[in-house]
Amino acid sequence: MSSDRQSFSTRRLEALTDGVFAIAMTLLVLDLNVAELGNAASNQELWHALTGMSSNLVSFVVSFLLLGSMWAVHVRQFEHIQEADRRLTAINTLRLLIVVLIPFTTSLAGTYSGLLLGEVLFPINFLTLAIVSWWQWQYAAKHLRNDMSAQARHKAVLRNSAVVIIATLVVVFAIFVGEYAFLLFAATPLAIGLLEKMTRPQ
């Protein structure tokens, strides 16, 4: 690290990030409004009303799980990052801006599931989050003190790269199958394995 770059503890940055993720994940449930169920007078009517909210329910579950996974990435990263600086703080602030947009784009996806723009803005939002998270880790790994070996750092880069690649595919597939394109994330371990094989020295 260059001597003119002021570094400081990551504690406050981690605390803010944890708080923003927690709030964003909690706000997601506000789209599940009981008032939208109407005045159901029987189990059949209530079930019909609930199935009418299926798009919102799917959006909620997908968004909650994705935000949870990105928070887990944040936790793993900051187990190894030992200091922060102004640039890392700026990148993290940008990442949090993208995080707080997730409830809005989730609501769009649930409410306008029949419109292309409503379908793709949410996966684009998540793709942007994945890219900025990758950028943040790349910067921290190269310019700030961390306790990772070269091999562990390489594996972390591959994991983050796999997420970005799959998130890009999700945007494309969302045009055709909507939020069900997020099922592609189940292939993340396979993508990581392929990247490891492709980058392994011959």
Q: What is the pLDDT along the chain (202 residues), one digit of tens a residue?
A: 444 568 999 999 999 999 999 999 999 998 888 777 778 778 988 888 888 888 888 889 999 999 999 999 899 889 999 999 999 999 999 999 999 999 999 999 888 988 999 889 999 999 999 999 999 999 998 888 888 888 888 888 888 899 999 999 999 999 999 888 999 999 999 998 998 888 876 5
7: enclosing H helix or E strand: strand 7-8
Q: Is residue 33 part of a domain?
A: yes
CA distance 38 to 49: 7
* Cβ atoms of residues 40 and 49 within 8 Å: yes
Q: Is residue 1 part of a domain?
A: no
Q: Is residue 56 part of a domain?
A: yes
Total domain count, the chain: 1
Sign of the Cα torsion 30, 36, 38, 42 reads negative
Structure confidence at residue 3 (pLDDT): 44
Range of the domain at 157: 7-199
Q: Is residue 103 part of a domain?
A: yes
Structure confidence at residue 202 (pLDDT): 58
Quick check: pTM over 0.95? no
Q: Is residue 23 part of a domain?
A: yes
Q: Is residue 98 part of a domain?
A: yes
Q: Is residue 2 part of a domain?
A: no
For residue 198, give the amino acid letter.
M
**Distance from the first to the final alpha carbon of the chain:** 32
